[in-house]
Amino acid sequence: MKIAVEGCCHGELDMIYETIQFMEKKENTKVDLLLCCGDFQAVRNEGDMKCMAVPQKYRQMQTFYKYYSGEKKAPILTIFIGGNHEASNYLQELPYGGWVAPNIYYLGYAGVVRYRGVRIGGISGIFKSHDYRKGHYEYPPYSGETIRSAYHVRNIEVFKLKQIKESMDIFMSHDWPRSIYHYGDKKQLLKKKDFFRQEVENNTLGSPAASELLNHLQPSYWFSAHLHVKFAAFMQHQSNVEGQLPKATKFLALDKCLPHRDFLQIVDVEHDPTKPDCLEYDLEWLAILKNCKSLLNVTSQTWNMPENNGLHTKWDFSATTESRKEVLNDLGQDLRIPCNFSATIACYDPNKPQHKRVASHIINPQTTEFCALLGLIDINAKIRQNDEGGDFEATEENDADSTSSLDDPSEYSTDVSVLSSSINPDEITLDEDEVEEDIPVQSVEPSPEDNNDLAVNLSKTHVLSDSMAVSSDDAMDSTNDELDRSESSQTEGEGKFIDKPLKRLSDESGRGIVKIKRRNQAIYTANDEEVE
């Protein structure tokens, strides 16, 4: 089947669907599924906009609210993960995943589903070491600190994904797995993004947690976004089983949704024609969720996952035959994901804007139903219970006293995520004075008179040309061709790369690091500040 893969969405749903329809018409084909690799921005109203960790000028309503209200329906089944520019309050309603609108499915903090027999997994957010070992403790209305920490990857999600033993077809992460750039055309990447040079050479660009998952899961495809550049790589894994051929992963990162940018690609993926044309739960993943129920942490206190190091009585939480049978019984032998979307808050009304609206802590009925079905704990409900009971520890004061990555480094020995040195001028960066909630939001919202013609206006603003869909390749086959070229271009040394970066290319040796002057530079000099 044909799967459309999109990089950073940034709320441009209308434009993405229009581009797919343009490509379908041009190539006389049909896209079966859309995968979005983060920064989806499921903004329903003005309160949601205040929960996005972006500067004021980027807080725009866009058009997701129309899909949420039912005014529009996604023409293609859409699956997405979260990034670092999200309406975090809404995504937190669905920690285990769920429908954010009809035909648009969120994978949760981490999740695995199946569609037409294709196994699709993903992890939301980006890696920051100082929050990695904390629990999911944040809830709206957010502070200047928690509005950012809410989308940081946690070790519990990585631990659950590492319990997976069955083969993975597709996996998504927002930020790149660390070291993946050594398996593709690194020279071309640095030609496009020279400000990544130091981190690439030091092997510190990307997520060490995602790299660990890449080596464990070894999926056929891995899709990412975040760095706003198209990049393909081919990674040959080492076989852990004697006599078994090693697996390989085709990696593809894509740009953000803008004209003349490589933000969308269509990939041909083998599927099982006997499987139903609907989204299904993954049996192994649900069994793992049940097995890991006791590991839930909803405080800002740091802790480590169980390991086989003599300190834990149990460290294997993988799915057993018995746990799978239990899940099947819970589901009544039916793995189909119910289409049980329901709106939980009032939607944006362009005729009655409410600029003072503030997000509240919502318990989503989808999560309530899912947890009741499988005997799981609703993370949001647990946070509220702790908060109402006076036991909640997720204050900024407690957060400041907790162990940070600078005092107690993460389990990744080379982790410097909190001290990232490269500045991507193409990325949305956060200024401290731009995320405080007491500042009035100067949001950009559709006016009532433009409401009905918004899709047409977007088409006029962003010309749907060949260069918009796929600016440098043939529309339909470019991704597979590029991945194949990446595969064939691998040298033996690159294929065996694991921990250490490769030597410089000959034409890189004499080049200095480009320094980019930026406004408010002083606020980025402290070691404990993030550039996201």
Phi and psi at 529, nearest 5°, equal -95, 150
Closest CA to 195 of 36, 495, 429, 499: 429
The angle subtended at Cα 144 by Cα 90 and Cα 7, nearest 5°, is 50
Burial class (CB in 10 A: 0-12, 13-18, 19+), 74: middle
Instruction: Indicate whether this model's pTM tops 0.85.
Output: no
pLDDT at 162: 98
Residue pair 90/79 in contact by the 8 Å Cβ criterion: no
Both structure tokens of 333: 């032998």
Q: Return the residue matching tokens 């904390």.
A: 134
* Integer Cα distance of 98 and 367 in angstroms: 8
Residue pair 192/229 in contact by the 8 Å Cβ criterion: yes
Provide CATH code, domain 2-524.
3.60.21.10
How many residues are there in the chain? 532
* Integer Cα distance of 27 and 128 in angstroms: 41
HEC-encoded secondary structure of 391-448:
CCCCCHHHHHHCCCCCCCCCCCCCCCHHHCCCCCCCCCCCCHHHCCCCCCCCCECCCH
Tens of pLDDT along the chain (532 residues)? 999 999 999 999 999 999 999 999 999 999 999 999 999 999 999 999 999 999 988 888 999 999 999 999 999 999 999 999 999 999 999 999 999 999 999 999 999 999 999 999 999 999 999 999 999 999 999 999 999 999 999 999 999 999 999 999 999 999 999 999 999 999 999 999 999 999 999 999 999 999 999 999 999 999 999 999 999 999 999 887 777 788 999 999 999 999 989 999 999 999 999 999 999 999 999 999 999 999 999 999 999 999 988 888 899 999 999 999 999 999 999 999 999 999 999 999 999 989 899 999 999 999 999 999 999 999 998 998 877 765 444 333 333 333 333 334 455 644 555 444 455 666 665 543 333 333 333 444 444 444 433 232 323 223 333 333 333 333 344 445 555 555 555 544 333 333 333 333 333 334 444 444 433 333 333 333 444 5
Coil, strand, or helix at residue 342?
coil
Beta-carbon count within 10 A of 140 CB: 23
pLDDT at 71: 97
DSSP conformational letter for 22: H
Q: Using CA atoms of 364, 365, 368, 369 in order, give the dihedral in degrees to the nearest 10.
A: -150
Per DSSP, helices labelled H in 50-154 are 64-69, 88-91, 129-132, 146-149
pLDDT at 239: 80
Coil, strand, or helix at residue 207?
strand
Please report, for the chain, the start and end positions of each structural domain, with discontinuous segments joined by +.
2-524
* Integer Cα distance of 278 and 117 in angstroms: 10
Helix (H), strand (E) counts: the chain: 19, 13
Beta-carbon count within 10 A of 185 CB: 17
Q: In what order do the strands lie in the sheet with 264-268?
A: 98-101, 104-106, 78-80, 33-36, 2-6, 264-268
Residue 201 identity (one-letter amino acid): E
The angle subtended at Cα 331 by Cα 373 and Cα 281, nearest 5°, is 95
